[in-house]
Amino acid sequence: MAQSHLLANRSTCARLAVGATIVRDNRIIAGGYNGSIAGGVHCIDEGCYVVDGHCIRTIHAEMNALLQCAKFGVPTQNAEIYVTHFPCLQCCKAIIQAGIKKVYYASDYKNHPYAIELFNSAEVETIKVPYDSIFEESIDDKQTHFIADLLKRLEKKGTSHEEMKSLYENAQALFSRGN
């Protein structure tokens, strides 16, 4: 799942970053992220091309991973796919047709009832695996300590009480776990 989250960082879609990793026999065989066709215009550069609530410019992460297998002749029969978000209906159908038997996903995202029905009828197991990066926690801790140190220095330099109060409140809101 960590590999899929890393791939999502390469996404060129401004609306949602998604990553997918296909695994067969405990080996990674392909990966993908949502973005434009090779050499095409990217959403992060010119905005999303939205029709009926969907960006039609992007190829979904699952599809990119499956297409990578097709391009290089890598079989997907009985493979597993790890995705950062529950697959859309179109990706669900492609996953089933590719012979993938397990879908691991980290986050629910518009889980279409028909996709769930199709997965069930095709005997494709879907397993939610919430993802908590150990790296994000250590980065948050480093950032929190850095900001706390900066605030202490500002206070020692004579920043007004009102301004310090505002800075502390902003820092607290920024680093609260609920955001």
Average pLDDT over all residues of the chain: 87
Evaluate if residue 150 carries a pLDDT over 50: yes
Evaluate if residue 168 carries a pLDDT over 90: no
Q: Identify which has the larger pLDDT, 45 or 178.
A: 45
* C-beta pairs of 33-42 under 8 Å, 24+ apart in sequence: 33/7, 33/8, 33/9, 33/61, 33/64, 34/58, 34/59, 34/60, 34/61, 34/64, 35/10, 35/11, 35/59, 35/64, 36/12, 42/12
Least confident among 15-29, 45-59, 119-133, 142-156: 142-156
Q: Give the C-alpha separation, 14 to 105, whole Å.
A: 21
Q: Residue 157: which pLDDT band, with cuts at 50, 70 and 90?
A: confident
Contact 128, 105 (CB under 8 A): yes
Q: What is the pLDDT of residue 122?
A: 98
Evaluate if residue 73 carries a pLDDT over 50: yes
Q: What is the pLDDT of residue 27?
A: 96
Q: Identify which has the larger pLDDT, 161 or 89.
A: 89
Please list the active-site residues.
62
Contact 98, 76 (CB under 8 A): yes
Q: What is the pLDDT of residue 35?
A: 92
CA angle 83, 87, 91 (to 5 degrees): 110
Least confident among 59-68, 113-122, 148-157: 148-157
Evaluate if residue 161 carries a pLDDT over 90: no
Q: What is the pLDDT of residue 141?
A: 57
Whether the CA torsion 68, 79, 133, 108 is positive or negative: it is: positive
Least confident among 6-15, 66-75, 152-161: 152-161
Q: What is the pLDDT of residue 154?
A: 81
